[in-house]
Every structure is written in structure tokens, then in C-alpha cells.
């Protein structure tokens, strides 16, 4: 078959079948062979034994978006895998690999017109002592997409602590099975460059450290837990610590306490946890204590679908606090950007003495990708600290709104940080003038922020603009790449404070705007409508999670619009 | 506690900010403030090396009345804020001020886990069996038959027993004080600061406005008749059966405190890139 620049494969099975292990090895093999790639994951709600699928894309170009269709769906078994049908779209040219001993593939997959290729995974694995069917499937998949066996072997060596020989032998059996099948082939890999293999959660954790965070308090929650599990040992290495708190109320307040002590602090959570943290974030605003919350969004409301992605926490992140509470909201717009966006959020929080919320999501957080090594500058945004001084006023009304912050231990500048309204010195005050002056100050320091070019990613030129944020950016980028010219992308990274003048400039000459977001009510569209002037006709392309937008959907939307315009 | 002050040592008044408290005349919390400042002077600490952390309520107004660093946070969350501060800045002396509503009701969960965690904090709860700041509602320690606008027939609920709960939650040091004896309180607070680990000090601190009958506490209190025990079983029996007016140290454990921050970095953040590099 003619080589293509991208191939997508999925490996599914019930829990314990090792699909994630095999998927990670396949991604690593692709990376070692010089390709870019991405693996996202989906799973049922079971703690153990539920169905799971690793969804991979191997490509000659950097991507963190899924393709329109999977070329191969392989399953160790078919138990409950049909539940993922919506997330695993196939096409007539696709191949379904299944073990005939596990029965026929569900009709929900075969009706796509995909070819079924039975491979006795279990029987083949059974020929080798200590081998498992997932490793046979790994070999089959590598063979079907034209990866070299050497790369599979190298990946297995990196990943497997025990059973390596049997594993490699099993993969080899699968690989040779694939050689007799008509599969797919990838174009030659691009020339080599410095790359990382990283998940969005690891990226956000690393970004936090690069931003200067040395204290983290957190409560476990899907899909943010891996971020915390990465940070726990990493913080210890850089002289910091992670405290597991009794709940999210405690974690945000611990972070505020540590930050009040002068140590840049962060917590990570998902929607239900963010909801619990909101009161304390208001304290951070009023008492001017920097803190960062990474919200790895999952579907809501309430417990929602804990394991699946949605961009529906935008409203609470922007507007959740009571009172007028100016703060920062930042959204990474690629998996790799989780590093820079989180580091930036730490810098903004520290330099403006304000809470910052980072809106990541399950899609980024739990996806692993081969990315070009991010180029990170040294953190230059730092907290303005008070030197010991006569007549120190913690909440002094400065021109920028930023007042020097005294750190406990500093002589002569002791003050009480307070969520009560206060005067310049920090003494509680219920006077109208103090309230107005402090409200103005807190608003001023956030609104005077000059984010430079970092506020958005602006790509392409055209009379049609796509406005989006977060993990919807990948599919839009790819749709634009396929469509050729005529479309401009504006993917917002700084959601609060809004940058109306910058967007106005970015949209000069634009006649229509497509707003792309992954939630039910159009939270991003409403936000844009309230904060910005949008030129010309505005359309909304949106749906709730967990299905990611496919590039072709976005492209078709743009094409149809241009034809009817 | 009778150690002579060093020449340069600060006096209790040097730990007061001079702000006029919002408390009612006769409130027990004035004496707690005095006890705190006396203890800090006795310990020869500098105010900038002490942080007083609180939540919301009458008792939680204390930080701004001291000359120390203060953190007046949100309702019920003083212990987490103090935990974060102490773990991040272990060299600071951290006092936590709370009341029976703030500490035992809205902040109840943090109380349990602070006892378990055993971070080196001095936790002073001013207990007056009533919500004073919101003007007279029953708290977890209010008697079941106490009548109020919000519970006209009384709550009918059994009182929360903070000392027993602290013991059951793993608290390492449990004491009870009385605001009517600021010197005794100062001694307990000074001991608490010296003690490495979480020190829970419940202070009977009358609310003369909404619970005027608590003026009678000064006749009810008495020194604990026996020395503190380090046996949790014995302590549990004593605490379950005491009259609520035993003053002094009631339980003394020896668990090592929780610390957190790594002493020194072994890597720079940039070094960790090797975890991702292909």
C-alpha cells in the first residue's frame, strides 16, 4: 500500500490484558524509529478488569490530535470493547485484528466495512513460556504499520523489567504474522531532532517545577492524579515537597499557606475538586497570595465521566468566585504547551500575587506524545518581595497595583494576610473608600498585565477565522493544513484577563468566525461574546466530551461555510 | 516559665499590634491573646519568626492583634493553611487559632487529619460552646438543651468531645486551658511551642454575651488531679470520664513530627528533562 504520513491504530481489551503496556511500547518503538506519535487512552469505570483501549497515531509530523479514522483496530478480546465504538471510528479500508478464540468482532465495528483478519493471539503466546497475547498484538501492529522489528525490540528493552525474552519472542511471532497480511506503510521518518516522549500531566508537572513551584498539596482525583504522582518524587529531587491532603479544601489552603510563607505553590485537580477550592481561591485574590491550580478537566457536571475529556470547566474557572475576583486563567493549546503554559501560569501568579488556573484536560493529561523538545526560557516573572522597611504597608496602593510582599521571617514588615477587606496596611476595614481602593488595585494589577505574544497562537491568514482553546486546537490545525489557505487560527492561551484589543487586531480583515469548543452550552462562545467584539458572522462548532473533534469535521464545517457564503 | 528575660528580650506587649479587638468586654479571648504574647516573650522569640494562622470567628481575629506574621484565612481552614506554611517554612514558629465552630464543625475534617499528621503546630481552640460572631447559634460543643433562635428547642444533639476525638485521631499532645488564668495558659502555650509535633490545646474561653452563664466556669475549673499519661488507653478513659474542667496536660505521646521539604536539592529542574528525552 502507498506510504502515508500518518497511521492510526487502536489496541483494545479487557483490563489486565496489557493493552496500555503494549500501546506504550508501540509508541516508544515509533519514537525510536524516528516518528512522531501520540497515544490517548480510554477506559471503563472499573478499578480493575474493565475494558480499555490505547489509541495511537504514528506520523511523520508532530501532532497531538487524533486522525479521523483508525486504520487498524486490534483486540486481545472483545469483552465490552463495543462500548468504545464511538471513540474508535473505522472505515472500509480499515483492518480489524482479533483472536478467533475470542469470538467474532462486534457488529458495531464490522459494519464500518473494515476487513477482519483473525490472528490467534492467545494460541501464539501459548507457544512460549511466560509470553502474553498483548506482546503478540504489539508485534502484529508494528508489522501492519511497517515499523522495523528492531525498534520494537528496543522499546521492549526499555519498558520491560521482567519477561523480556519471552516478550520479544512473542512480539516477533506477531510481527511475522503481519508480514503475510496486507497492511499499511508510513512514509520515511523526518530527519532527527531533539524530542521528548511525555504525557500532558507530566508536562504540566515539569512546567510547574520550571516555573519555580516547590510546594504542592493535593488530593487524588482522576484524571489529575498522574500529575501529582510525577511531581511527588520530582519535587523531592529539587528540594521541594508534596503533601497529600485530606480533601481539596485542605490542599488549596495548604498551598496558600506555603505560598504565604514565600514558596511558590501549586495544586492539581479536576472539576469536582476545583469546585471545592473556589472559596479559597477568592482568599488568594483578596489576601493577594499567589497560587496555581492545574485543572485537568473531565466531563461534568458533578462526578460526570471521570475518565473522559471535556472543556466544560471554563465557566467556573473564569467566573466561579464570589465577589469581583480578578485572577489568571491560562490554557495550554498543545500537549507540549502544558510545560510552557504551566510555567507561565506560575510566573503570572507569582509576579501578580494572584491565583492562576491552568485549564488542561483529560485528553492532554493522559495522552503520551512524541513532541519536539520544548525550548524553555528561564523563569523571569518573580514575586516582588518587601525588604525590611519603615512604615511598611502590605497592600500599598501602587501604580501597577502590585505591592511588595513581606515574607515571614523578615524583620519589621510583619502583617496579617486577610480575606477580610482591609486598608493598605492590612488592617480589616469595612469602609467604602478602602473597599473601592483595594478593588481597584486588585483589578489594576491583573489588567495591566502585558502578555506579549503569549496570549494566543495565531496561525495562517484568511477571511475565515477559527477561535478555539486547549485540546481543540490540534484538530483545527490539522484541518487548516489539509484545507490549504484561507483560514486563520487564533487559539487563546490567556483566557483571563481578556485581551480585546489584541484579538481585534488579530481579526482585522476577518469576515467570519468559527468558534470550536468541547462542551454542550458553548461556554467559550459566550465568553468571547461578553469580552470581545467578533467581526462578521459567527458560528459555533461544539459538542460535549468525550469525543475529540476530528480534523475532517472541522474542515468540512469550514468548506461548507465557504460554499454557502 | 519563670526564666528571667535576657537583656534584649521582648516583653509581652511587644508582641501586641495595638489594634483594638472586635471582642465584647469580658470576652475570654482577650486573655488568650495575653497568654499567647506572654508565651512568646517567655520563649524569647522574635515576632517576625512567628506566624499566627486562623480561620473565621471571634477567636480567629487574634492574628492581627499580634505583631507577628498573621494569616486570617477562610472559615474552617486554619489548620491546612498552617500545615502548608510550617511544612514549607519549618524554621518558623506557627500558632493556629480557632474556635469550636471553626475548628470542630466546618473544619472538623482538618482537625482529624492534623492530629494524624503531627506537623509541628500549636493548635489553640477557644471553645465557648457557641457561634459568637454570627450572634448566638449552637456549635458542636453546645449542650443539647441550650435554646437559641436557630434551635428554639435545643439541638437535641450530643456534644462533640474534642479531646477524645483528638486522641482517637492520633494527636500526640492534648491539653486543656482556661482563659481565666492567662499565666497558666502562657505556660501551656510555651510548652506547646517547645514540643516538637502537633499540640492540641483546648481553651475554655467564655462568651459573656451569648453564654453569660459561662462566667461560672472560673469556679468550675480545677487542675487535673493526676500527671499526664503517655498511655492512650488510660488517657481515653480519663478524657471520657472527666468533668470537662480538668486543666493541664492530659496526654503526652512521643511520635516524631511530620516534616516535608527535602533538605537540599539533588537536581535542578532542568536535570529532570532526562526523564522525557528520547
Would you list the DSSP string of A61-75?
S---S--SS-SEEEE
Put simply, the answer to whether A414 touches B273 (Cβ < 8 Å) is no
Mutate to test the interface with A, among B80, B95, B198 (most CBs of A within 10 A): B80
Put simply, the answer to whether B265 touches A416 (Cβ < 8 Å) is no
| pLDDT, tens digit, 9 for 90 and up, residues A465-511 | 999 999 999 999 999 999 877 899 999 999 999 999 999 999 999 99
**Within this chain, do residues A139 and A275 fall inside the same structural domain, yes or no?**
no
Please state, in angstroms and as integers, the Cα–Cα distance from residue A143 to each residue in A17, A134, A190, A357, B16, following that order.
Answer: 20, 14, 20, 43, 76
Please answer whether residues A37 and A199 qualify as being in contact, where contact means their C-beta atoms are separated by less than 8 angstroms.
no
d(CA A395, CA A426): 6
| Structural domains of chain B sorted by starting position, each given as residue range(s) with its CATH number in brackets | 14-275 (3.40.50.970)
Please provide the average confidence, as pLDDT, over all residues in chain B.
Answer: 95
Put simply, the answer to whether B72 touches A419 (Cβ < 8 Å) is yes
> Which chain A residues are Cβ-neighbours of B14 within 8 angstroms?
none
Using CB atoms within 10 A of its CB, is residue B242 exposed (0-12), middle (13-18) or buried (19+)?
middle
> Which chain B residues are Cβ-neighbours of A210 within 8 angstroms?
269-270
Averaged over B256-271, what is the pLDDT? 90
CATH number at residue A68: 3.40.920.10
Q: A101 in a domain, yes or no?
A: yes
Put simply, the answer to whether B88 touches A234 (Cβ < 8 Å) is no
**Within this chain, do residues A167 and A32 fall inside the same structural domain, yes or no?**
yes
**Within this chain, do residues A283 and A203 fall inside the same structural domain, yes or no?**
yes
- A244 pairs with which residues across the strands? A218
**Within this chain, do residues A114 and A13 fall inside the same structural domain, yes or no?**
yes
| pLDDT, tens digit, 9 for 90 and up, residues A151-204 | 999 999 999 988 999 999 999 999 999 988 889 999 999 999 999 999 999 999
- Boundary (domain end) residue, out of A130, A146, A179: A179
Give pLDDT, residue A565: 66
Residue A47's pLDDT band, with cuts at 50, 70 and 90, is confident
Domain range spanning residue A321? 197-372
- Boundary (domain end) residue, out of A149, A179, A209: A179
Output the CA torsion A312→A314→A317→A320 (10° steps).
-80
Give pLDDT, residue A471: 98
Size of interface A-B (CB pairs under 8 A): 193
Please tell me which of the candidates B49, B82, B261 has its beta carbon nearest to residue A241: B261
Give pLDDT, residue A122: 96
- Residue B48: closest C-alpha in chain A: A409
**Within this chain, do residues A138 and A74 fall inside the same structural domain, yes or no?**
yes
Percent of chain B predicted with pLDDT > 90: 95
Residue A45's pLDDT band, with cuts at 50, 70 and 90, is confident
Residue A180's contacts (CB-CB under 8 Å, 6 or more residues apart) are none
> Which chain A residues are Cβ-neighbours of B48 within 8 angstroms?
408-414
Residue B7 has pLDDT above 60, yes or no: no
**Within this chain, do residues A271 and A363 fall inside the same structural domain, yes or no?**
yes
d(CA A117, CA A331): 42
Put simply, the answer to whether A237 touches B85 (Cβ < 8 Å) is no
Residue A381's contacts (CB-CB under 8 Å, 6 or more residues apart) are A344, A346, A347, A348, A350, A351
d(CA A183, CA A95): 8
Selection from B175, B234, B155 nearest residue B39 by Cα:
B175
d(CA B65, CA B20): 8
Around Cβ A411, how many Cβ atoms within 10 Å?
Answer: 11
> Which chain A residues are Cβ-neighbours of B106 within 8 angstroms?
none
Percent of chain A predicted with pLDDT > 70: 99
| pLDDT, tens digit, 9 for 90 and up, residues B165-209 | 999 999 999 999 999 999 999 999 999 999 999 999 999 999 999
**Within this chain, do residues A203 and A143 fall inside the same structural domain, yes or no?**
no
Averaged over A98-104, what is the pLDDT? 96
Please tell me which of the candidates A238, A260, A280 has its beta carbon nearest to residue B77: A280
Residue A235 has pLDDT above 50, yes or no: yes
**Within this chain, do residues A98 and A29 fall inside the same structural domain, yes or no?**
yes
At how many degrees (to 10) do helices A200-211 and A225-237 cross?
Answer: 40
CA max distance for chain B: 75
Around Cβ A113, how many Cβ atoms within 10 Å?
Answer: 10
Selection from B179, A417, B92 nearest residue B189 by Cα:
B179
Put simply, the answer to whether B80 touches A250 (Cβ < 8 Å) is yes
Please tell me which of the candidates A31, A214, A413 has its beta carbon nearest to residue B278: A31
Task: Tell me the three cell numbers of residue A319.
Answer: 467566573
Task: Tell me the three cell numbers of residue B218.
Answer: 472560673
Q: What is the DSSP letter of A314?
A: H
**Within this chain, do residues A257 and A319 fall inside the same structural domain, yes or no?**
yes
Residue B1's pLDDT band, with cuts at 50, 70 and 90, is very low
Q: A387 in a domain, yes or no?
A: no
Using CB atoms within 10 A of its CB, is residue B6 exposed (0-12), middle (13-18) or buried (19+)?
exposed
Q: A146 in a domain, yes or no?
A: yes
Q: A106 in a domain, yes or no?
A: yes
- Give the gap in angstroms from C-alpha A556 to the nearest C-alpha of chain B: 36
Residue A431 has pLDDT above 60, yes or no: yes
Please answer whether residues A477 and A516 qualify as being in contact, where contact means their C-beta atoms are separated by less than 8 angstroms.
no
Find the distance separating the first CA and the last CA of chain A, reported in whole Å: 38
pTM (global) more than 0.95: yes
Put simply, the answer to whether A254 touches B68 (Cβ < 8 Å) is no
Please tell me which of the candidates B85, B265, B266 has its beta carbon nearest to residue A261: B85
Q: A431 in a domain, yes or no?
A: no
| pLDDT, tens digit, 9 for 90 and up, residues B224-255 | 999 999 999 999 999 999 999 999 999 999 99
> Which chain B residues are Cβ-neighbours of A235 within 8 angstroms?
262
CATH number at residue A227: 3.40.50.970
Put simply, the answer to whether B264 touches A253 (Cβ < 8 Å) is no
Half-sphere exposure of B32 (CA within 13 A, CB side): 34
Q: A438 in a domain, yes or no?
A: no
Give pLDDT, residue A1: 75
**Within this chain, do residues A153 and A61 fall inside the same structural domain, yes or no?**
yes
**Within this chain, do residues A173 and A244 fall inside the same structural domain, yes or no?**
no
Give pLDDT, residue B6: 46
Please state, in angstroms and as integers, the Cα–Cα distance from residue B131 to each residue in A171, B139, B143, following that order.
Answer: 69, 6, 13
Task: Tell me the three cell numbers of residue A385.
Answer: 518581595
Give pLDDT, residue B83: 98
How much of chain A is helix, strand and coil, in % rounded to 5? 40, 20, 40
> Which chain A residues are Cβ-neighbours of B87 within 8 angstroms?
215, 241, 243, 254, 258
Structural domain total, chain A: 3
CATH number at residue A520: 3.40.50.920
Q: What is the DSSP letter of B102?
A: I
**Within this chain, do residues A113 and A165 fall inside the same structural domain, yes or no?**
yes
- Boundary (domain end) residue, out of A122, A153, A179: A179
Around Cβ B271, how many Cβ atoms within 10 Å?
Answer: 12
| pLDDT, tens digit, 9 for 90 and up, residues A259-308 | 999 999 999 999 999 999 999 999 999 999 999 999 999 999 999 999 99
Residue A564's pLDDT band, with cuts at 50, 70 and 90, is confident
Q: Where are the beta strands (DSSP E) in chain B?
A: 50-54, 69-72, 93-99, 122-127, 173-178, 199-204, 222-223, 246-252
Omega cis (within 30) before A377: no
d(CA A68, CA A53): 17
Amino acid at each position: 500500500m502507498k506510504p502515508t504520513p500518518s497511521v492510526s491504530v487502536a489496541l483494545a481489551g479487557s483490563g489486565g490484558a496489557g493493552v496500555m503496556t503494549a500501546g506504550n511500547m508501540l509508541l516508544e518503538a515509533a519514537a525510536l524509529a524516528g516518528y512522531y506519535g501520540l497515544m490517548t487512552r480510554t477506559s471503563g469505570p472499573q478499578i480493575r478488569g474493565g475494558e480499555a483501549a490505547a489509541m495511537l497515531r504514528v506520523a511523520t509530523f508532530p501532532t497531538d490530535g487524533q486522525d479521523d479514522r483508525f486504520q487498524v483496530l486490534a483486540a486481545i478480546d472483545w469483552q465490552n470493547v463495543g462500548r468504545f465504538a464511538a471513540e474508535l471510528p473505522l472505515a472500509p479500508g480499515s483492518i480489524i485484528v482479533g483472536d478467533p478464540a475470542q469470538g467474532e468482532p462486534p457488529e458495531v465495528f464490522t459494519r464500518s466495512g473494515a476487513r477482519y483478519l483473525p490472528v490467534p493471539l492467545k494460541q501464539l503466546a501459548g507457544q512460549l513460556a511466560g509470553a502474553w497475547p498483548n506482546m503478540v498484538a504489539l508485534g502484529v501492529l508494528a508489522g501492519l504499520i511497517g515499523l522495523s522489528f528492531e525498534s520494537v525490540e528496543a522499546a521492549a528493552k526499555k519498558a520491560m523489567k521482567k519477561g523480556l525474552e519471552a516478550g520479544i519472542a512473542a512480539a516477533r511471532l506477531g510481527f511475522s504474522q503481519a508480514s503475510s497480511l496486507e497492511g499499511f506503510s508510513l512514509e520515511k521518518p523526518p530527519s532527527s531532532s531533539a524530542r521528548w516522549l511525555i504525557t500532558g500531566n507530566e508536562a504540566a508537572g515539569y512546567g510547574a517545577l520550571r516555573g519555580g513551584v516547590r510546594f504542592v498539596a493535593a488530593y487524588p482525583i482522576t484524571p489529575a492524579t498522574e500529575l501529582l504522582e510525577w511531581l511527588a518524587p520530582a519535587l523531592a529531587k529539587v528540594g521541594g515537597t508534596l503533601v497529600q491532603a485530606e480533601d481539596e479544601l485542605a490542599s488549596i489552603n495548604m498551598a496558600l499557606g506555603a505560598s504565604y510563607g514565600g514558596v511558590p505553590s501549586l495544586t492539581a485537580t479536576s472539576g469536582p475538586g476545583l469546585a471545592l477550592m473556589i472559596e479559597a481561591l477568592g482568599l488568594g485574590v483578596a489576601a493577594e497570595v499567589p497560587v496555581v491550580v492545574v485543572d485537568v478537566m473531565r466531563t461534568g457536571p458533578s462526578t460526570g465521566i471521570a475518565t473522559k475529556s471535556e472543556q466544560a470547566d471554563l465557566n467556573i474557572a473564569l467566573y466561579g468566585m464570589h465577589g469581583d475576583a480578578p485572577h489568571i486563567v491560562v490554557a495550554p493549546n498543545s500537549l507540549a504547551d502544558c510545560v510552557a503554559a504551566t510555567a507561565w501560569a506560575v510566573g503570572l501568579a507569582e509576579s501578580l500575587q494572584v491565583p492562576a488556573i491552568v485549564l488542561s484536560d483529560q485528553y492532554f493529561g493522559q495522552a503520551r506524545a512524541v513532541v519536539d523538545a520544548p525550548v524553555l526560557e528561564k523563569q523571569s516573572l518573580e514575586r516582588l518581595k518587601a525588604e525590611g522597611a519603615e512604615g511598611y504597608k502590605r497592600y500599598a496602593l501602587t501604580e501597577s497595583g502590585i505591592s511588595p510582599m513581606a515574607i515571614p521571617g523578615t524583620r519589621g514588615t510583619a502583617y496579617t494576610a486577610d480575606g477580610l477587606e482591609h486598608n493598605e496596611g492590612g488592617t480589616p476595614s469595612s469602609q467604602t473608600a478602602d473597599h473601592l481602593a483595594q478593588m481597584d488595585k486588585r483589578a489594576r494589577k491583573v489588567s495591566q498585565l502585558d502578555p506579549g505574544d503569549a496570549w494566543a497562537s495565531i496561525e495562517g491568514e484568511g477571511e475565515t477565522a477559527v477561535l478555539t482553546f486547549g485540546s481543540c486546537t490540534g484538530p483545527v490545525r490539522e484541518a487548516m493544513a489539509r484545507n490549504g489557505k484561507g483560514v486563520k487560527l487564533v487559539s487563546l492561551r490567556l483566557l483571563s484577563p481578556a485581551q480585546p484589543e489584541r484579538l481585534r487586531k488579530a481579526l482585522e480583515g476577518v469576515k467570519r468566525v468559527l468558534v470550536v469548543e468541547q462542551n454542550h452550552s458553548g461556554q467559550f462562545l459566550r465568553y468571547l461574546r461578553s469580552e470581545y467584539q467578533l467581526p462578521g458572522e459567527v458560528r459555533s462548532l461544539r459538542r460535549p466530551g468525550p469525543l475529540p473533534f476530528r480534523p475532517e469535521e472541522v474542515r468540512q464545517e469550514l468548506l461548507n461555510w465557504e460554499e454557502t457564503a | 516559665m519563670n526564666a528571667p528575660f535576657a537583656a534584649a528580650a521582648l516583653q509581652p506587649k511587644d508582641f501586641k499590634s495595638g489594634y483594638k479587638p472586635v471582642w465584647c468586654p469580658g470576652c475570654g479571648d482577650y486573655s488568650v491573646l495575653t497568654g499567647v504574647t506572654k508565651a512568646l516573650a517567655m520563649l524569647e522569640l522574635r515576632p517576625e519568626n512567628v506566624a499566627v494562622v486562623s480561620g473565621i470567628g471571634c477567636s480567629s481575629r487574634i492574628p492581627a492583634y499580634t505583631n507577628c506574621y498573621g494569616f486570617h484565612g477562610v472559615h474552617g481552614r486554619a489548620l491546612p493553611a498552617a500545615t502548608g506554611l510550617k511544612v514549607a517554612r519549618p524554621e518558623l514558629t506557627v500558632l493556629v487559632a480557632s474556635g469550636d465552630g471553626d475548628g470542630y464543625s466546618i473544619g472538623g475534617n482538618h482537625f482529624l487529619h492534623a492530629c494524624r499528621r503531627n506537623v509541628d503546630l500549636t493548635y489553640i481552640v477557644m471553645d465557648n460552646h457557641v457561634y459568637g460572631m454570627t450572634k448566638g447559634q449552637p456549635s458542636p460543643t453546645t449542650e443539647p438543651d441550650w435554646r437559641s433562635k436557630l434551635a428554639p428547642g435545643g439541638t437535641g444533639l450530643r456534644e462533640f468531645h474534642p479531646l477524645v476525638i483528638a486522641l482517637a485521631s492520633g494527636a500526640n499532645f492534648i491539653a486543656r486551658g482556661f482563659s481565666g488564668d492567662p499565666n497558666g495558659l502562657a505556660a501551656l502555650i510555651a510548652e506547646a511551642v517547645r514540643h516538637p509535633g502537633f499540640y492540641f490545646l483546648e481553651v475554655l474561653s467564655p462568651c459573656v454575651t451569648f453564654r453569660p452563664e459561662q462566667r461560672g466556669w472560673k469556679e468550675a475549673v480545677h487542675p487535673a488531679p493526676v500527671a499526664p499519661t503517655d498511655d492512650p488507653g488510660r488517657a481515653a478513659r480519663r478524657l471520657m470520664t472527666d468533668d470537662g474542667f480538668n486543666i493541664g496536660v492530659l496526654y503526652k505521646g512521643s511520635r516524631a513530627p511530620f516534616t516535608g521539604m527535602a533538605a537540599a536539592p539533588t537536581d535542578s529542574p532542568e536535570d529532570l528533562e532526562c526523564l522525557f528525552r528520547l
